[in-house]
């Protein structure tokens, strides 16, 4: 009996997997009139039960004002396009979750972008939105990536947006456009994580990113669908040789964090060089590269150039590849005193030989 009464309060995260778990928690908070227990949770994970959907009723059973310290809300595996749809009071009750600052949706399927927009808009203080493998049954919704047609409401106050897909995208550009529409250009949005495969060309990616005047953190994931060419990006050591001189000087804000993840070396080298033509990189505090193959000489040169360029401000360096493994992060004090560390790009076996 004691376990049933206390199992929801042993940690600050609640993981709900079915209707029975949801009603058990609701019984403790509401039925037993113990609302103070709801203040324990800072993280709520809701995993839809595909056989017996329940998630479309959760804010009605568990009022948001009983979870006043909840900051992170994770919703997984909902299908509101063909199966259970939200209760007609769902979005009204969701507005009482005023403490939620971060929403992560994973493997979720919606009728269209408008339905997802309504969900996001119902959280009045939302600052961070993550869309991971989110799909739509219909392409109707945003006509262009979040630039017109809708009253965006809380979307304009988002500080961080992540749009990614662990699986290989199907090439549905309409769906990708609707997902990217949730990154609304504003003076508040400063952190972006993007799946580069959503963009058909580097020009399209560039046009999307330059619309964010306050962007300071940028993470680019997966190999782009176009063929990268370092000659078309920028030689890392000589801005004067850059082909498209019309883009100089740049007035984009200085990046503080730049991350390239889950890419081949050629793509990573191109994107690092390309990014340094759009944003000043002399104030980088965090530089991160994660590769799926052996690092190329071009990538080594570009990575080293960026380290030297930001030696006065760099705080954290991350490097991972099949040949080097994961290298330890650099110490901020040592970097400031001694300059950027010397990184060996050789494997342990070759070093011993």
- What are residue 220's DSSP bridge partners? 194, 260
Residues in Cβ contact with 157 at an 8 Å cutoff, skipping those fewer than 6 apart: 126, 127, 186, 188
Instruction: Please give the angle made by the CA atoms of 329, 271 and 306, to the nearest 5 degrees.
Output: 45
Give the model confidence (pLDDT) of 164-179 as tens digits. Answer: 886 655 556 777 888 8
pLDDT, one tens digit per residue, over 106-154 is 999 999 999 999 999 999 999 999 999 999 988 765 444 444 444 445 6
The pLDDT score that the predictor gives to residue 36 is 76
In degrees and rounded to multiples of 5, residue 261 shows phi and psi of -130, 150
Distance CA 17, CA 49 (A): 6
Token duo for residue 260: 């390239």
pTM attached to this predicted model: 0.81
The pLDDT, as a whole number, for residue 153 is: 58
Residues of the chain with pLDDT under 70: 1-11, 33, 35, 83, 140-154, 166-172, 229-251, 325-353
């Amino acid at each position: 009996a004691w376990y049933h009464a206390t199992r929801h309060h042993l940690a600050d995260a609640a993981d709900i997997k079915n209707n029975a778990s949801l009603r058990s928690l609701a019984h403790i908070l509401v039925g037993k009139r113990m609302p103070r227990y709801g203040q324990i949770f800072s993280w709520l994970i809701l995993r839809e039960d595909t056989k017996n959907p329940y998630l479309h009723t959760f804010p009605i059973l568990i009022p948001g004002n009983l979870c006043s310290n909840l900051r992170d809300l994770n919703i997984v595996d909902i299908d509101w396009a063909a199966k259970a749809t939200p209760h007609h009071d769902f979005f009204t009750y969701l507005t009482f979750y005023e403490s939620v600052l971060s929403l992560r949706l994973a493997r979720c399927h919606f009728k269209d972008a408008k339905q997802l927009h309504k969900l996001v808009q119902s959280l009045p203080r939302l600052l961070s939105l993550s869309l991971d493998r989110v799909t739509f049954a219909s392409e109707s919704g945003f006509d262009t990536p979040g630039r017109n047609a809708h009253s965006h409401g809380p979307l304009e106050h988002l500080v961080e947006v992540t749009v990614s897909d662990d699986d290989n995208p199907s090439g549905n550009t309409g769906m990708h456009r609707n997902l990217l529409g949730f990154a609304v250009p504003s003076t508040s949005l400063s952190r972006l994580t993007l799946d580069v495969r959503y963009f058909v060309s580097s020009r399209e990616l560039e046009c999307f990113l330059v619309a964010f005047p306050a962007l300071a953190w940028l993470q680019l994931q997966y190999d782009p669908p176009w063929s990268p060419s370092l000659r078309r990006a920028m030689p890392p050591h000589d801005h004067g040789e850059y082909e498209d001189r019309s883009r100089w000087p740049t007035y984009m804000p200085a990046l503080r964090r730049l991350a390239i993840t889950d890419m081949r070396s050629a793509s990573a080298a191109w994107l690092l060089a390309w990014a340094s033509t759009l944003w000043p990189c002399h104030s980088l505090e965090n530089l991160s590269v994660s590769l799926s193959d052996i690092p190329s000489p071009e990538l080594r040169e570009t990575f080293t150039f960026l380290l030297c360029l930001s030696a006065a401000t760099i705080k954290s360096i991350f490097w991972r590849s099949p040949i080097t493994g994961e290298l330890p992060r650099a110490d901020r004090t040592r970097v400031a005193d001694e300059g950027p560390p010397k990184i060996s790009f050789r494997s342990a076996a070759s070093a011993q030989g």
